[in-house]
Structures are given as C-alpha cells and as structure tokens.
Amino acid sequence: MQVIGAGFGRTGTASLKAALEHLGLRPCYHMLELFDHPEMIGRWLDIAEGRSADWDAVFDGYQATVDWPGASYWYELADHYPEAKILLSVRDPERWYRSINATIFKQVRMRESLPGRARLALLSRLSGDFAAFTRMTHEAVVERVFDGDVTDKAHVMKVFRNHIETVRSSFPPERVLVYDVLQGWAPLCAFLGLPVPAEPFPRLNDSETFGRETRRRMTRLILGGARRQH
C-alpha cells in the first residue's frame, strides 16, 4: 500500500482513483470495487461490526485506496502501513454538501422512509450481498463517520471540516497532501514524486452519473446475490 486516501466520498474520489491508476498505482481501491467483487463485502462488514480487521487481506494486490469504506479507517490504515502517504481529497464545503446530499444522503433518506424500509427488507431477503452491503455502509459511513446523523446540515458540515483538520494535524507535513482534484496533476505528482502526464486529468462521476451508475451497479449486486443464494 503506497497511498491511503483519507478524503470523504464526493470529493472527486472516482477521478482520483483513475488518476492514481494512470500514474501506475493500480489497482486503486474504491467503494466501486465492492460492486465488482461482492466477495469483499463480508470482510468489510466484519470490520464495520468490530469482528476483525485483516488489512493485508482486504487490500491484497492493491497499491492505493480512496473513498469509503477505506477512508472511514484512515487512521488505522496509516498506522498499519507506516510508509504509505496520506492523500486527503477535499472540496469546497458547500459544493461538497450539495453533492453528497443529492446522492449518497438521498439514498440513506430513501432507505429510512417507510416505503424504503419495506423495499430494503424485501431486497435483503432476496440478496445476501445487498443486505451485507447496506449494513456495512450504514455502520462504516453513516454511524462511524457521521455519528448516525446525515440529516442535519450543520452537523454534517462540522464533521467534514473537523475531519480535514484532524487528518492534517495527525501526520508530519511531508506525509500528507490536502488536495482538491481541480488542482490537476501538478501537486499530486509532486507529492508522489512522479512525472506529470501529458493527458488531461480525469473528470468522472458527477451527480447525474453517480445516480445512474449506482442504480446499475446495485441492480447487478442484487441479481448476483440472488443467484448465489438460489
């Protein structure tokens, strides 16, 4: 493990995954990996529910990680991989809140509504993969990161700002980069000691794309889990 992403989801982590892989740090772990490799979900559920944390097994073969669920355990990972650099992706707080509120938090609110709870129960019975994924993300992100409250904007923004300061102050400056993907290649490559590519910096996963891709991947997860159960 060479790079540990400590930044929250919706801070350009999909673009950052693509950028790191372009720079040779591949594969780079991201929440998206769980849709492509549902066998990984159980390991994260064990971590989220406090049973075990075999980081070497979780990240076997990976050179970097960004986004949740890895970012929920940034401190543990930084301790376990003391030579890895810490990459804290950030974004203008108001823009970040609008993005996460319209995507990830929207899904949380839908699951917590009466129709959403009924749908969640039905799909969880149909697919063990889906049930484990929703439990894991609730524990690892909603509970661990936001103390169970993603509806209070003031609270969410405070968590976001406090997280940035905590990560920044937890490491010597040569080990951590506070980075906005709008800055492009230069600061990232300087931090990693790598040459700047000629290609444009990747720009991926806006809010509209996020919703469409999440629905597609979640459907695949549900159907795959249902096939494995039956």
Give the structural domain span for 219: 3-229
What would the mean pLDDT of 137-160 be, rounded to a whole number?
A: 98
Give 102-113 pLDDT, tens digit per residue. 999 999 998 888
pTM to 2 decimal places: 0.92
Total number of domains in the chain: 1
Unique residue bearing structure tokens 């930044």: 7
Say yes or no to pLDDT of 217 above 90: no
Residue 78 amino acid letter:
A
Contact 63, 75 (CB under 8 A): no
CA distance 115 to 186: 47
Of the candidate ranges 48-52, 66-70, 204-208, the one whose mean pLDDT is the lowest: 204-208
pLDDT band for position 204 (50/70/90)? confident
pLDDT tens profile 75-132: 999 999 999 999 999 999 999 999 999 999 999 998 888 888 898 898 888 899 999 9
**CATH number of the domain that 166 lies in?**
3.40.50.300
Contact present, 87 and 5 (Cβ < 8 Å): yes
% pLDDT > 90, the chain: 79
pLDDT averaged over the chain?
93
- Mean predicted confidence (pLDDT) in 15-36: 96
Strand partners, 65: 4, 29
